[in-house]
Chain A
Amino acid sequence: GEDVEQSLFLSVREGDSSVINCTYTDSSSTYLYWYKQEPGAGLQLLTYIFSNMDMKQDQRLTVLLNKKDKHLSLRIADTQTGDSAIYFCAEREGGSYIPTFGRGTSLIVHP
């Protein structure tokens, strides 16, 4: 079945850039997502990218997609302590209502 892999932890210094990586196995993936989960809260949709794109930028967030290598990344510029959270990568085939989620990457931002 489909699989989405992420590293479990990332630690960065405040003000630096963070890069969270994700790999997936489903070659039929049409939509790829990044979600953010703060403690005690639900998952917040941050951004998503269609498989026919290779980059999407939204303020401090940059999503890069390498479809050949099935690799997705989320870059957060000028990382702040408020960015500390768990970040989930997810993918879904076109027409499917069921995304597949990774296990989440815990981003720790220290002063």
Chain B
Amino acid sequence: ETGVTQTPRHLVMGMTNKKSLKCEQHLGHNAMYWYKQSAKKPLELMFVYNFKEQTENNSVPSRFSPECPNSSHLFLHLHTLQPEDSALYLCASGTAYEQYFGPGTRLTVT
């Protein structure tokens, strides 16, 4: 078991909805990540937080808004998404030499 949990596991939302994805890690790591995984595309790094500070924003559209209130929790707030945002959203936590992933949230935008 990786010790990284994500909720919800599945989410269907309309383009006008607002929803949030939650990630929690119980491994004592100081870094947390959001990735997007779409079919037939490479894994895309979205955001990185290190000691609660955002250190990476990979040109992600503003309709995705991350929040890291403490080093154990990470959120991804979603609003006015597009159908092409449908994907598996993976959270990970890590240190300077290893990284562990959660099971992901399968997001469908209708």
Contacts and interface: CB of A to CB of B under 8 A. Distances in A.
Report, as a range, how many residues of chain A touch the other chain: 20 to 34
Report, as a range, how many residues of chain B touch the other chain: 20 to 34
A53 interface: no
Contacts of B90: 42-43
B98 A45 contact: yes
B42 A103 contact: yes
B96 A97 contact: yes
Report which residue of A33, A88, A92, A97 has the largest number of chain B beta carbons within 10 angstroms of its beta carbon.
Answer: A97
Nearest to B99: A99
A44 B99 CA distance: 9
A98 B48 contact: yes
A43 B99 CA distance: 10
Rank and list the top 4 A-B pairs by shortest CB-CB distance, nearest first.
A42-B101, A43-B101, A42-B103, A101-B43
